Chains A and B, each alone.
Chain A
Amino acid sequence: MSPDVLLVLPSIHDVLAAEEQVRDAGLWVDLLPKPGCIGTDCGMVLGCRADDLAAVLERLRGGGLTVLGTWRVTPGGCERLGP
């Protein structure tokens, strides 16, 4: 399965904390190297299904994690959805 949406968080710690929280909620996630369409940072991003995005964001907000941006995966790369 490939993610439809990518979420950017501040640090690798936060990405892993997010992964744990979302999985604990029974939702599917994947970790990926940050793609060039988002930035040249060497960090990781959290990927999820588009249908789960609202639930994922709610879960992360409740867990005290900051999402810096969300990106939709497109055939050519990705496009920004929101902050």
Chain B
Amino acid sequence: MRPKTLYLDHAATCWPRPPAVAAAMTAALEEGGNPGRSGHYRSLDAARMVFGARQAVARHLGVGDPRRVVFTPGCTEGINVVLSGLLEPGGRVVTTAMEHNAAARALRHLAATRGVALEIVAPGPDGRVDPRDLRRAAAGASFAVVNWVSNVSGTVQDLPALREATRGIPLLVDGAQAAGHLPVAVDGLGIDYLAVPGHKGLRGPPGVGVLCLGPGARVPVPLVHGGTGSRSEEDRQPPFLPDALEAGTPNVPGIRGLAAGIAAVEAGGLPALQAREQALCARFLEGLEARALPVRVLGPRDPTLRVAVFGLVPERGDAGTLALRLEREHGVLARAGLHCAPWAHRALGSFPGGALRLSFGPDHGDDAVDEALAALEAVCP
């Protein structure tokens, strides 16, 4: 039996999940049925469940028409569907140096294979991108990609301002660390494409994510073609949503688990969760300062400009050793390294050594912050 631990790796995946998530997934497996494929009640029940989950996601993410909610295997695939399905040779993309590899690698690949030009905008020292810089770089661009919340520094971008700075250009938002932490309104914010995972802030299982399309957004050329249960007489992918981007049997247990996760987020009340997360940020940052711990904190000091994802660069020693000692000596589970975001680490001056990342979750309170601070104090050389 493992000793009691403090799980501070919510930016990687949430834990523990609400019990309703596993219950919903188990029920889906036990009940069976392939949605939209057959006429019997198990198939129809599964279809109704997916339908209800799509409506719940649409409500939670501010998408007016649930048909513009596409279930994906994860955030990364959603990003790749959009970029691969829309960017054409000769296109020019404006993006930020805060992107995760989910977008960065896809963009580099398309630059190499399709000749897509990249304009990468550097952030300020706290990771915030100045909308004026983005506006300047966006001149002549055909597409924009923005990471909303950094998985390295917790930095929250001013998305309405960045949307305004890229007005007239289709905008893809990587919402991996935003969903479940911030109010999201795809239609209200004028987002054309939003990709989110199911297993982080939305508290669902891994293996399911969501791609939302804004009203009027062009449907990308599908990355995957195949059966949808609709227009079976045709050997071409249906052009309408969500079927156009949902080839193959959907991940019904995952989708059902995601709906249960979202229900748990909503039961806690997102405004209350957000307020608690900001209070937790303030306590952690003040605690670091009070203890004068020898680490450089990445990201904003203002709790309202960040989420509870803290990248810490040790002044002495290395992040990997600190992570190991935190777990072995104090039962604190954190993540060291580059967090699949080398662009962001370069931009924040923490490349190649990386950082120690502590990311808190929705069930954490002051005691978790204090325990983390005490453990950090004990292991920092």
List residues of A whose CB falls within 8 A of some B CB. 10-14, 16-17, 31-34, 39-44, 64
Residues 284-309 of B, flagged 1 when their CB comes within 8 A of A and 0 if not, give 00000000000000000000000000
Q: B51 touching A17 by the CB < 8 A rule?
A: yes
- B213: min CB distance to chain A, Å: 14
For B44, give its contact among A17, A39, A44 (CB under 8 Å): A44
Q: B37 touching A42 by the CB < 8 A rule?
A: yes
**B236 on the A face (CB < 8 A):** no
B35: chain A residues at CB < 8 Å are 12
Beyond A40-B232, A43-B229, A44-B39, 11 extra complex contacts between A and B, CB < 8 Å: A10-B231, A11-B67, A11-B242, A12-B36, A13-B242, A13-B243, A41-B231, A41-B233, A42-B37, A42-B232, A43-B36
10 A-B pairs (CB sep. < 8 Å): A11-B67, A11-B238, A11-B242, A12-B230, A13-B66, A39-B233, A41-B233, A42-B38, A44-B44, A44-B47
Cα distance A27–B39 when bound, in Å?
22
Is chain B's binding surface mostly helix, strand, loop or mixed? loop
A10: chain B residues at CB < 8 Å are 230-231, 238, 240, 243
Within 8 A of A (CB), among B7-52: 35-39, 44, 47-48, 51
List residues of B whose CB falls within 8 A of some A CB. 35-39, 44, 47-48, 51, 54, 65-67, 228-233, 238, 240, 242-243
Cα distance A39–B234 when bound, in Å?
11
Q: B39 touching A64 by the CB < 8 A rule?
A: no
B36: chain A residues at CB < 8 Å are 11-13, 43-44
**Contacts A33-B39, A41-B233, A43-B36; is A11 near B228 (CB within 8 Å)?**
yes
A11: chain B residues at CB < 8 Å are 36, 67, 228-230, 238, 240, 242-243
Q: B230 touching A16 by the CB < 8 A rule?
A: no
Question: Closest residue to B242 on the A side, CB-wise?
Answer: A13
- A69: min CB distance to chain B, Å: 13
Name the 7 nearest CB pairs between A and B, nearest first.
Answer: A33-B39, A12-B36, A16-B51, A41-B232, A11-B230, A42-B232, A11-B243
Cα distance A13–B230 when bound, in Å?
10
Question: Closest residue to A68 on the B side, CB-wise?
Answer: B231
Cα distance A17–B48 when bound, in Å?
10
A32: chain B residues at CB < 8 Å are 39
B230: chain A residues at CB < 8 Å are 10-12, 41, 43
Question: Closest residue to B227 on the A side, CB-wise?
Answer: A42
Q: A16 touching B39 by the CB < 8 A rule?
A: no
- A60: min CB distance to chain B, Å: 14
- A46: min CB distance to chain B, Å: 12
B231: chain A residues at CB < 8 Å are 10, 41, 43
